[in-house]
Amino acid sequence: MYNHSVDSHHNQDKVLKESLSLFQGGSLDFLDEELSGEVTEVLSTEITETTTKKSYGDNALKLSTNKGVHSEWEAEISEADMERFASYHIDLTRIHGITFTTVIITTKKPSVSCFTSPSMTFTPKIINLKDRDADAVLKEIDRKLNAGEHSSINELEIIYLPLYGSISGKTTSELLDTAIKLTPQVAKDDRHKQNKLQALLILLTSTFISDEEQNKVLEDNMRILEDNRAVRVLEDIGVRKGIEQGIVQGIVQGIEQMVINMLQDGDDYSKISRVTGLSTNRIMELENERLSLA
């Protein structure tokens, strides 16, 4: 039986937002070659959220090519979703004054690929992760590791690798196991980055595998995960029940406490953003919350 104790869409969207924010400076070219360029900024979508009265559409990024990317995760893409995404696309372009590409990430073949109205035709990039070949990606990662080319490996792709298809028939749990074992090599000599990769890997895949598969992967990798504070939160939850909440709590609370400590030490927003990977807008929100509780 698969673990769906929390809304899986929220889980996946959370990973998308956290990974893009935490690995600011990374590249989205593993999703599509047209998305080349480093992520330079996680953009505010406050006006969009106010307009739609929903907390959707909050993954908006600016690339070093001076273009924007609006990314969404959708298991099932409906006509209503397409209309909503088209609205976000127009709003984001108007608010930020740059050209945006909307990317929809899924693991199923979509039944809808565009939205058409009398005034426009909206065609986003739909990326089905199952169309990717995990075996080929792992082979290339192995080549780079053997050649000492660690810096050319895209950490963001490692997070999504377990959801790729596999010509050799590897399951999601097997790919998760492989990805976790890769983290100490990919994020060489950077324990903080290793921890983030491991936590996001576990969170993203938790709704795609059974509790039993999940437990086995975690137990098989206990040595690698033993110093990961975010993963250690699971020890207080029992037999991995509530894993999503535990991982989210571990990631978010740890980063937010770091922000609060730096604010109390008088560090400015730009420094805090560089250290934590959070946007200045989110740092401002945390400072306002801290001041309101003072």
167-183 confidence digits (pLDDT tens): 999 999 999 999 999 99
- Does the predicted TM-score (pTM) go above 0.85? no
**pLDDT for position 266:** 85
Compute the mean pLDDT over every residue in the chain, rounded to the nearest whole number.
Answer: 80
Is the pLDDT score of 256 beyond 90?
no
**pLDDT for position 76:** 82
Q: Which helix (H) or strand (E) is 40 found in, with range?
A: strand 39-42
Write down the domain spans for the chain: 8-128, 132-241, 252-294
Closest CA to 18 of 197, 281, 258: 197
Residue 236, Cα to own-chain centre: how many angstroms? 25
Tell me which range, 214-223, 239-248, 253-262, is most confidently predicted by mean pLDDT. Answer: 214-223
Under 8 Å between Cβ of 31 and 103: yes
pLDDT digits (tens, 9 = 90+) for 25-52: 778 888 888 888 888 887 765 544 433 3
How far lies 290's CA from each of 25, 256, 259, in Å? Answer: 28, 11, 10
Q: Confidence band (pLDDT; 50, 70, 90) for 166?
A: very high
Q: Which residues pair with 243 in a beta bridge?
A: none
Under 8 Å between Cβ of 12 and 163: no
Q: Which residues pair with 39 in a beta bridge?
A: 63
